[in-house]
């Protein structure tokens, strides 16, 4: 009888209960064999409490059917919830790691919750130390060459992207959308000559204080400058980085930058804020006054230093403290932020006191050191250079009477050479710089600071040769330029040489008119060459589809759009036409669209032949031939 009851009970286990699993079935079968007792079927592991039953299971009861329906519905809801959570997590992971998705604008608020793509490659540690994190920001497409960028990096996905791009060009004169998407770290192509990798530098190099002045700089560009220095500079050589804020008014450069420097950067990165707009010149002097390293390294706020950039700069200063050094300035496109190698050129100037790039004389290139040897440069571009900190003070720092920006690079260049120092360009040191097509901000009050500063420069350092400047700018002859007594005292104290000595020994290529003669236009003379430079190996000019005359792939023949009397000059290519657009047309002449004149060859049969701009007259001196 007991056996029969057990079989009956076993057969009467409801199907939903049997489906729970082998353990549950065995357990409930054992309980159901005792119909003479009240049994509580505890299924908390599988479902909610079951009802209390006596004897065998009555499948036909309403309570049983209601209970089993509730269990089925509950499992269905659990399944839906689990599926939803799983898909949510998968979608979150996908969009968080996808580089092709929209990238939010960095610096939009004061929160410290920085977007993932903008996280620095340094992990904050106790004591504000930092360690390298190898998870650098990558380009959105795998398989690209080192330093290459995805062609879709600047793609606009929505109206916010469009606004970021347009506002960036307006405020900063470069593509801030791409800058933000690059983040603070990226790989760069090694643009050095291969022989640079074999260069050895002795121990005991001096320490460096890197000074970066900025005014309303793009947040991402500024921090990429800082992190490139941290990432590519040996810690024992980097004494400090001093950021000098020249009274910026952009919101993300206030509390957000304070917080980032305090919590995300090491202790040797310091932020100094000017109470009022001082300009680049006085801003750098303020930064230098806070520096304590052996060498001052001045960088612009939209740069990226390349591999082994600092050691080549420090070595010559270690040998001679009166040596001032500059890196080769590689080109970062303002439109694409692509990093490109710059040809080896050196600094010059014209009688309008504008800086220009000159080809390096063959005598320098063919020296015993070859392509890696230091190159003597008559002037510096001014944005990037290094010099002994104490020598900077002894030499008179900058002219504090100059305003904001302009002319200070020529002034310090003349002073270095004329007062016993030397100025070198180091081919093995490479630093990229965003070359903008315009300055995104003006001077307070709209004054012509370039003219003011050039007048001070001419009256202090150029002696009788300042007449060359006034021949081109006669309207400035009687303009006030402030007190120069302190600067004249500096020249006397340092026992500096004459400007004539400078022209004869440092920049003999610069031609000047006789004292009572008509001012000649500046020209570059190729000494010892009986054929035009264009015919020489390595000096071939290319006329490209953008109507540019390009030398060595990256330097363009450029003219002044404000002063048509100035001669053509070599400048970094900007690709926007205008001052670098040349039309090759009727009578084989090269017509410059900005100044309305033609490129003209002067004295072609002489060793001192040069080119200038002149009214288009169809003469033989204006006829050019394109060689396929």
- Write the pLDDT tens digit of every residue in 306-341: 999 999 999 999 999 999 999 999 999 888 899 999
How many residues are recorded in the chain? 628
Instruction: Residue 547: give its domain's CATH number.
Output: 2.80.10.50
Q: At what angle do helices 449-461 and 408-418 cross, to 10 degrees?
A: 10
Q: Is residue 380 domain-shared with residue 250, that is, in the same domain?
A: yes
Q: Is residue 499 domain-shared with residue 585, that is, in the same domain?
A: no
In a domain, 608, yes or no: yes
Q: Is residue 380 domain-shared with residue 267, that is, in the same domain?
A: yes
- Comparing C-alpha atoms, which of 567, 544, 570, 546 is closest to residue 557? 570
- Computed over every residue of the chain, the mean pLDDT equals 78
Q: Is residue 23 domain-shared with residue 76, that is, in the same domain?
A: yes
- Comparing C-alpha atoms, which of 395, 443, 417 is closest to residue 285? 395
In a domain, 539, yes or no: yes
Q: Is residue 304 domain-shared with residue 424, that is, in the same domain?
A: yes
Domain boundary among 80, 101, 122: 101
Q: Is residue 398 domain-shared with residue 547, that is, in the same domain?
A: no
Q: Is residue 243 domain-shared with residue 339, that is, in the same domain?
A: yes
- Comparing C-alpha atoms, which of 44, 99, 47, 115 is closest to residue 76? 47
What would the two tokens of residue 307 be? 């591999």
What would the two tokens of residue 265 be? 């950067």
Quote the number of domains for the chain: 3
Q: Is residue 476 domain-shared with residue 602, that is, in the same domain?
A: no
In a domain, 124, yes or no: no
- Res 561: pLDDT: 58
Per-residue burial over 332-349, b if 16 or more Cβ lie within 10 Å, else e, is bbbeebebbbbbbbbbbb
Domain boundary among 489, 505, 521: 505
Q: Is residue 472 domain-shared with residue 549, that is, in the same domain?
A: no
- Res 539: pLDDT: 58
- Least-confidence region, from 365-374, 463-472, 592-601: 592-601
Encode pLDDT of 203-212 as tens digits.
899 999 999 9
Cβ-contact 38, 52 below 8 angstroms: yes
Determine phi and psi for 340, rounding to 5 degrees: -125, 150
In a domain, 413, yes or no: yes
Q: Is residue 93 domain-shared with residue 236, that is, in the same domain?
A: no
- Listing DSSP states for 317-367 in one string gives HHH-TTEEEEEEEEEEETTT--EEPPP-EEEEE-TT--EEEEEPPHHHHTS
Q: Which residue has the tokens 């307070």?
A: 444
Q: Is residue 481 domain-shared with residue 591, that is, in the same domain?
A: no
- Comparing C-alpha atoms, which of 551, 576, 549 is closest to residue 561? 576
- Comparing C-alpha atoms, which of 228, 219, 188 is closest to residue 337? 188
Instruction: Residue 275: give its domain's CATH number.
Output: 3.90.550.10
pLDDT at 342 over 70: yes
Query: 66 is in which domain, residue-wise?
Result: 1-101
In a domain, 123, yes or no: no
- Comparing C-alpha atoms, which of 428, 20, 354 is closest to residue 198? 428
Bridge partners, residue 327, by sequence: 426
Average pLDDT over residues 235-259: 96
The more confidently predicted of residues 108 and 59 is 59
When pLDDT is cut at 50, 70 and 90, the band that residue 62 belongs to is low
Angstrom distance (rounded) from CA 531 to CA 604: 9
Distance, CA of 347 to chain centre: 22
In a domain, 143, yes or no: no
- Res 131: pLDDT: 38
Domain boundary among 487, 505, 523: 505
Angstrom distance (rounded) from CA 528 to CA 573: 28
- Res 367: pLDDT: 80
Determine phi and psi for 42, rounding to 5 degrees: -85, 105
In a domain, 128, yes or no: no
484 CB-near residues (< 8 Å, 6+ apart): 401, 456, 459, 460
Encode pLDDT of 450-469 as tens digits.
899 999 999 999 999 999 99
What would the two tokens of residue 400 be? 């504090």
129 CB-near residues (< 8 Å, 6+ apart): 266, 267
Is pTM, for the whole model, over 0.85? Answer: no
Q: Is residue 240 domain-shared with residue 332, that is, in the same domain?
A: yes
In a domain, 305, yes or no: yes
Q: Which residue has the tokens 């790691």?
A: 97
Encode pLDDT of 113-163 as tens digits.
333 333 333 333 333 334 333 333 334 434 456 667 776 688 888 889 889
């Amino acid at each position: 009888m007991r056996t029969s009851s057990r079989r009956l009970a076993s057969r009467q286990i409801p199907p939903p209960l049997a489906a729970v699993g082998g353990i549950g079935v065995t357990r409930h079968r054992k309980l159901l064999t005792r119909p003479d007792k009240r049994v509580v079927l505890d299924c908390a592991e599988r479902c909610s409490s079951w009802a209390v039953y006596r004897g065998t299971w009555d499948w036909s009861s309403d309570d049983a059917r209601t209970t089993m329906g509730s269990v089925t519905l509950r499992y269905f809801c659990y399944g839906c919830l689990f599926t939803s959570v799983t898909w949510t997590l998968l979608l979150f992971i996908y969009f968080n790691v996808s580089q092709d998705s929209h990238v939010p604008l960095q610096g939009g608020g004061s929160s410290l919750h920085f977007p993932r793509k903008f996280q620095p490659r340094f992990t904050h540690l106790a004591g504000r130390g930092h360690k390298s994190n190898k998870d650098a920001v990558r380009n959105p497409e795998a398989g690209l060459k080192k330093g290459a960028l995805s062609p879709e990096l600047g793609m606009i996905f929505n109206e916010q992207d469009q606004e970021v791009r347009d506002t960036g060009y307006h405020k900063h004169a470069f593509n801030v959308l791409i800058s933000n998407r690059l983040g603070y770290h990226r790989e760069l192509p090694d643009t050095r000559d291969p022989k640079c990798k074999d260069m050895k530098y002795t121990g005991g190099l001096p320490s460096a204080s890197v000074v970066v002045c900025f005014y309303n700089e793009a947040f991402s560009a500024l921090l990429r400058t800082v992190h490139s220095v941290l990432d590519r500079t040996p810690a024992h050589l980097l004494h400090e980085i001093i950021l000098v804020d020249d009274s910026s008014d952009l919101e993300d450069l206030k509390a957000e930058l304070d917080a980032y420097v305090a919590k995300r950067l090491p202790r040797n990165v310091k932020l100094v804020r000017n109470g009022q707009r001082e300009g680049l010149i006085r801003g750098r002097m303020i930064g230098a006054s806070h520096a304590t390293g052996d060498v001052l390294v001045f960088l612009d706020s939209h740069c990226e230093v390349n591999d082994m950039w600092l050691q080549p700069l420090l070595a010559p200063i270690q040998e001679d403290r009166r040596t001032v050094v500059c890196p080769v300035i590689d080109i970062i496109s303002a439109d694409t932020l692509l990093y490109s190698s710059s040809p080896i050129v050196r600094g010059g100037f014209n009688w309008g006191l504008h800086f220009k790039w000159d080809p390096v004389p063959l005598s320098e290139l063919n020296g015993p050191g070859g392509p890696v040897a230091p190159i003597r440069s008559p002037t510096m571009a001014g944005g990037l250079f290094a010099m002994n900190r104490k020598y900077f003070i002894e030499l008179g720092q900058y002219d504090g009477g100059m305003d904001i920006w302009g002319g200070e690079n020529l002034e310090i260049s003349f002073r270095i050479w004329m007062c016993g120092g030397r100025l070198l360009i180091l081919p093995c040191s490479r630093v990229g710089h965003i070359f903008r097509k315009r300055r995104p901000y003006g001077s307070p009050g709209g004054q012509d600071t370039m003219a003011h500063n050039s007048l001070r420069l001419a009256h202090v350092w150029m002696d009788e040769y300042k007449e060359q400047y006034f021949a081109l700018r006669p309207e400035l002859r009687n303009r006030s330029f402030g007190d120069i007594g302190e600067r004249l005292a500096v020249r006397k104290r340092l026992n500096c040489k004459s400007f004539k000595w400078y022209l004869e020994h440092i920049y003999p290529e610069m031609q000047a008119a006789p004292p009572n003669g008509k001012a000649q236009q500046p020209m570059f003379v190729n000494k010892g060459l009986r054929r035009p430079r264009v015919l020489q190996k390595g000096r071939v000019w290319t006329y490209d589809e953008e109507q540019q005359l390009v030398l060595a792939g990256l330097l363009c023949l450029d003219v002044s759009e404000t002063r048509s009397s100035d001669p053509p000059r070599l400048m970094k290519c900007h690709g926007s036409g205008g001052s670098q657009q040349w039309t090759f047309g009727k009578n084989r002449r090269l017509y410059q669209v900005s100044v309305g004149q033609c490129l003209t060859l002067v004295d072609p049969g002489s060793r001192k032949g040069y080119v200038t701009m002149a009214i288009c007259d169809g003469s033989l001196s204006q006829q050019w031939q394109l060689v396929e």
